[in-house]
Amino acid sequence: MDKKTFVARLDGWLNLITGLGARGKDKRTAAQALWHRHDEIFFEHLYASDGMAARIVDLLPEEALRKDWCYSGVEKPKSNTYIARLKELDAKNKCREAWKQARQYGGSAIVYFSKGTEGMNEPMRDGEEVVALQVLNRFELQADPTSLDMNPLSPTFRMPTLYRLNVIQTGSADLNLLVVHISRLELFHGAKLPRRLFTENGYWHDSVLTRPYNVIRNYQTSHDSSAAILQDFNVGVFKMRNLAELVAAGKEDQIRERVELANYSKSVIRSLIIDESETYEEKSRTVTGMPELLKAAGTNLVAQTDIPHTKLLGESPEGSNATGNSTTTAWYDYVDSQRQEYLAPKLINITRKLNPGIPKDIGIDFDSLWQLDDNEEADIRLKVAQADAVYLDRGVLDPAEVAVSRFGGNKYSMETEIDLEARPNSKPEENELDDEDPESDENSEAS
C-alpha cells in the first residue's frame, strides 16, 4: 500500500506539513484514556493520607444520613416500631459505613446474619430473624462467577448469586469458608463501570477516587509547590571574587564554609559581615498568576465531583450579592435525590428483612436537610399564621384543625390535616332535581 492510499484511508485529520495527526509529531496521537485497576492498599493509603480524597468519599453519605426519616403508608406507631428495630441493630450507622466503603473501594455490602451460619448459601427465608448486621467491602467479598443469575426476569440478572467471604481468620471460626447468598447481602456500589470492566473487576464497580485521582494529585501538588515557593520567597545572591578559579582548583569546601559563615552571622547577629570585595543581595521570586493557577486547579477538582466549592473546598461564594444559599440549595437537592433514588430502596429492604410482614406500598420520607435559623423560622410561622387567619375567617378551616395540625405532633408543622368526618355537613347534599321526573323538566322548559 503506497503512502497516498494509506493517508486517504485514515479516519481523522492528518496534515503531513504541520504534523497534525501524525504519529510521532502530534502529541495527541500518543495519549489515550485507560482505566487502571487499583488494589485495596492503594485506596486505603489514599483515603488515610489525603484529606481531600477522604472528603470526597465521606461528604455525601454524611450529608444524606445526617437527618432521620419516617415511614409513609403505615400508621405512626408502626413507623416508630420499625425505626426502633433499626436502631436496635445500628442500621443507620451500618448504612453510612457501607456507603462510605462503597465509595472508597468501589463496593461493599451489609451482611444479614441470622442465628448460626448454617444455610447462609441458601436464599433468605421469609420471617427469618436477623440478629446482626456487618459491613464488608468488596475485597472481603469474592463473587462466584459460576453462580450467575441468567434469568432475564430476575432483579439480579447477570449478577453472581453467591459470594465467598475473604476476611482475616480470627479464633477458631474460619469465616473464609463461609459462602453467602445474594439475598443475605445489601449491596452498595461506587462509581459505575461499563459491563465489560465491571466483569473484569470481579463483578464490582469502581471507587469514586479513581477518576479524579490525577486531578486530586495535581491540586495537592499545586498547593505544596506554592508553599515551597513562599518558604524560599527571597533568594540570596552572594558574589565572590575569583569564584571560578576556586571551583577550578577544587576548593568547593572553602566556598561552602564561606557561605555558611555568612548565613550564620546573618542569623545570630542579624547582620551580614562580608569582605569589601564581596557583594550580597536578595532577590524576590515573582508569584504573579499563582492565585489564578490555584483557583483553576480547585475548579478542575470540583468539576470531577458532584460537590460544590463551598462544601468541597470550604470557600466562600464570590460577588457582592453572593450568600451561598443557591449553591447550598443545589447541593441539598442533589443529596436529596441520592437519598430518594439510591438510599431509600436499601433502607426499605433492610426494614423488610428486620420486620417481616411490612406492607408492600411502604415508603420513606426524609427530614429536610435545610436548617432554618430563629429569624427564618419566625418569619415562616408568621406567614403561616396569616394564611390560617384568612382560612378561618372564610370558614375554610376549623380552629381545632389548625391547632392539631400546627402543634399536635412532636414539632411544629406547616401541613394542614382536615378531618372531614368531624364536620357537620361533610357530605355534599344531593341535588333534588336529580330525583325529579325528566318529563317534568321538559314540561317546565316548554312552559
What's the rounded Cα separation, in Å, for the pair 174 and 168?
9
pLDDT reported for residue 303: 83
* pLDDT bucket at 36, cuts 50 / 70 / 90: confident
Q: Does residue 326 fall inside a structural domain? A: no
Residue found by looking up cell 484529606 in the block: 51
pLDDT digits (tens, 9 = 90+) for 334-369: 999 999 999 999 999 999 999 888 888 899 989 888
- Which one of 166, 184, 212 terminates a domain? 212
Report, as an integer, the average pLDDT of 34-39: 85
- Print burial letters for 130-143: b (CB count within 10 Å at least 16), e (below 16): beebebbbbbbbbb
Q: Is the pLDDT of residue 260 over 90?
A: no
Question: Which residue range forms the structural domain that includes residue 422?
Answer: 375-447
What's the rounded Cα separation, in Å, for the pair 346 and 439?
63
Q: Does residue 415 fall inside a structural domain? A: yes
13 plus 97 within the same structural domain: no
Are 117 and 178 in contact by the 8 Å Cβ rule? The answer is: yes
48 plus 126 within the same structural domain: yes
Q: Is the pLDDT of residue 274 over 50?
A: yes
134 plus 19 within the same structural domain: no
Q: Does residue 407 fall inside a structural domain? A: yes
Most confident listed range (161-170, 267-276, 293-302, 333-342): 333-342
* Structure-model confidence comparison of residues 165 and 376, the more confident one: 165
3 plus 104 within the same structural domain: no
3 plus 133 within the same structural domain: no
pLDDT reported for residue 7: 47
* pLDDT bucket at 1, cuts 50 / 70 / 90: very low
Amino acid at 324: G
139 plus 15 within the same structural domain: no
- Intra-chain end-to-end CA distance of the chain, in Å: 102
Report, as an integer, the average pLDDT of 205-230: 85
Q: Is the pLDDT of residue 433 over 60?
A: no
Q: Grid coordinates representing 109?
A: 455490602
* pLDDT bucket at 42, cuts 50 / 70 / 90: very high
* Structure-model confidence comparison of residues 23 and 370, the more confident one: 370
16 plus 126 within the same structural domain: no
Query: In this predicted structure, which of 24-28, 51-55, 146-150, 284-288 has the lowest mean pLDDT?
Result: 24-28
What's the rounded Cα separation, in Å, for the pair 426 and 420?
6
pLDDT digits (tens, 9 = 90+) for 56-99: 999 999 999 999 998 888 888 888 899 999 999 999 999 999 99
399 plus 432 within the same structural domain: yes
27 plus 44 within the same structural domain: no
138 plus 79 within the same structural domain: yes
166 plus 124 within the same structural domain: yes
* pLDDT bucket at 103, cuts 50 / 70 / 90: very high
Q: Grid coordinates representing 146?
A: 459460576
pLDDT reported for residue 337: 93
pLDDT reported for residue 192: 94
pTM of the model: 0.72
pLDDT reported for residue 90: 95
Is 113 buried (19+), middle (13-18) or exposed (0-12) by CB count in 10 A?
Answer: middle
pLDDT digits (tens, 9 = 90+) for 108-142: 999 999 987 788 999 998 888 999 999 999 999 99
Look at the chain and report how many structural domains it folds into.
3
pLDDT reported for residue 226: 77
Report, as an integer, the average pLDDT of 285-303: 78
Is 270 buried (19+), middle (13-18) or exposed (0-12) by CB count in 10 A?
Answer: exposed
* Average pLDDT over the chain, rounded to an integer: 82
- Which one of 157, 188, 212 terminates a domain? 212
Are 91 and 342 in contact by the 8 Å Cβ rule? The answer is: no
Q: Does residue 404 fall inside a structural domain? A: yes
pLDDT reported for residue 174: 62
